[in-house]
Amino acid sequence: MNSIRRIFSMGTAALVLGAGLLAGSSGAAQAAPSDCVGGAKGFTDIPDSLSGRGVGGAGAVIANFGGTPWAVASYQMHTGNVGGTSMGWGVLSTSSSTWGPGAVGWVWMDVTNDNKVSWIQCGPFTTSASGARITTPAYPTSNSASRAFRVCAQVTSPSPVSGITCTPWW
């Protein structure tokens, strides 16, 4: 009986530790849009329709259900002129043909000013609409080698969940 309790206790401890590590590692759970909208932390609000030059890579996030894509979204980093200043921002576009009921697309942008030792997370911003396009607020670019950007995305729904993927630092 003691060995069953010990196994159960160790299993419970491992589960709690694992849940804590998982919760602590999720970038999307540690920040909020309010951290960077309305001019907070040097960010500038931009319209979702703003397009710039694609830089730093792009990718797709796919939540599969039973081996079939349930929700598909693409993400990328853009740079361009915003109010006379060169800035970078993230873009997420959801698929109009593959977007299951209850799917949610998430996008956020990380900015570092100390060569990736630490960073500011802007977002996540979400959409549940198929064929949607959303952007993060923009942040000034710099010639400094210590400033870098990356854009991250994820797709969630009632069952399938994609992994979090990010562009390389740019």
Q: In terms of domains, do 70 and 153 share one?
A: yes
Q: Which helix (H) or strand (E) is 25 found in, with range?
A: helix 2-25
Q: What are the tens digits of pLDDT across the range 131-155?
A: 999 999 999 999 999 999 999 999 9
Q: In terms of domains, do 35 and 25 share one?
A: no
Q: In terms of domains, do 46 and 69 share one?
A: yes
Q: In terms of domains, do 125 and 43 share one?
A: yes
Among residues 97, 119, 101, the alpha carbon closest in space to that of 109 is found at: 119
Q: What are the tens digits of pLDDT across the range 55-67?
A: 988 999 999 887 8
Q: In terms of domains, do 18 and 36 share one?
A: no
Q: In terms of domains, do 61 and 74 share one?
A: yes
Q: How many domains does the chain have?
A: 2
Q: In terms of domains, do 104 and 25 share one?
A: no
Q: In terms of domains, do 162 and 87 share one?
A: yes
Whether the bond into 33 is cis, omega within 30 of 0: no
Q: What are the tens digits of pLDDT across the range 111-133?
A: 999 999 999 999 999 999 999 99
Q: In terms of domains, do 111 and 129 share one?
A: yes
Q: Which structural domain range is residue 17 located in?
A: 1-29
> Could you tell me the two tokens for 10?
């160790």
Q: What end-to-end distance do the CA atoms of the chain give, in Å?
A: 57
Residue 70 CB: number of other CB atoms within 10 A?
22
Which residues fall within 8 angstroms of residue 28, CB to CB, at 6 or more apart? 106, 108, 123, 124, 152, 154, 164
Q: In terms of domains, do 132 and 144 share one?
A: yes
Q: What is the pTM of this model?
A: 0.80
Residues forming a β-bridge with 104: 156
| pLDDT value for 30 | 65
21 within 8 A of 119, measured Cβ to Cβ: no
Q: In terms of domains, do 4 and 77 share one?
A: no
- Give, as one character, the DSSP assignment of residue 137: P
Residue 166 has pLDDT above 90, yes or no: yes
Average confidence (pLDDT) over 69-88? 96
Q: In terms of domains, do 76 and 153 share one?
A: yes
124 within 8 A of 151, measured Cβ to Cβ: no
